[in-house]
Amino acid sequence: MSVEIQQNTYTRKMEAMLRAHASREISEPMEAYMRHLFPFLGIRTPERNALVKQFMKEHGVPAGEELEAIVRELWALPEREFHYSAMMLLEKRKKDASAAQIELLEELITTHSWWDTVDLLASHLVGNVFTRYPELVPVYAEKWISSDNMWLRRTAILFQLGYKQRTDTELLFSLIRRAAHEPEFFIRKAIGWALREYAKTDAEAVQKFVAATELSPLSMREALKHVGPGDGQKAD
């Protein structure tokens, strides 16, 4: 006898709300932009954000195990807007994130993976959990940079994007050195992005690292994009 898995009421209501605003005319160019990797409902970002914010205002924001269950249910739906909405729920509860949430985030990074979800998961949500629970960093940074999954390796490089003065420079540079040989575009781009962002805090350190490290032309170009001759100094 098969057992039908019941969706959480919150998930059902959010799904119905978003589907009510679907537009095939809008979804077609959205799907084309994402290389037809995912179906879309056809709700543009400003409208979707407003809809989900209003939904959260009316229905509240789940927490704890219920939040994780709802996020998984939304992530299991095919259309991309549900994945974006799941991340909005997690963002809303960032201050309540537990150490165990890293397992959920790893699952999301490796499911329906593309830059549009992975980069937000890495820089906003993984970065937040690692800030709250720094003891997780050495374990997961090593696990992910050694992974066969390219999106986990990208996350290891990007999770410190918003750290600024809190950046563990030794770790960042070490992870980049280990990935610098990769031909994968998304890894080379991530290296350049991480270095370019840290250059806003310590341009001199980035310049020295780039000069001493064999990086791809793409990574090097991205890293030094906004670094000029007079930028070799730390930001206060």
Q: pLDDT by residue (tens digit) across 21-65?
A: 999 999 999 999 999 999 999 999 999 999 999 999 999 999 999
For residue 25, give both structure tokens: 């005319």
Q: Can you give the residue ranges of every domain in the chain?
A: 7-96, 118-236
Q: Look at residue 1 in the predicted model and tell me its pLDDT.
A: 34
Strand partners, 202: 234
Q: Look at residue 231 in the predicted model and tell me its pLDDT.
A: 60
On the question of pLDDT at 140 being above 50, the answer is: yes
Domain pair 7-96 / 118-236, same fold: yes
Per-residue confidence at 7, pLDDT binned at 50, 70, 90?
confident
The pLDDT mean for the chain works out to 95
Fold of domain 7-96: Leucine-rich Repeat Variant (1.25.10)
Statement: the pTM of the whole predicted model exceeds 0.85: yes
44 to 30, 61, 170: CA distances (angstroms): 9, 22, 40
Instruction: Return the axis-axis angle of helices 137-145 and 150-158, rounded to nearest 10°.
Output: 140
Q: How far apart are the first and last CA of the chain?
A: 65
C-beta separation of 163 from 127 below 8 A: yes
pLDDT tens per residue, range 64-92 = 999 999 999 999 999 999 999 999 999 99
- Give percent above pLDDT 90 in the chain: 92
Looking at domain 118-236, its CATH architecture is Alpha Horseshoe (1.25)
* Best CA proximity match to 155, nearest among 224, 97, 223, 102: 102
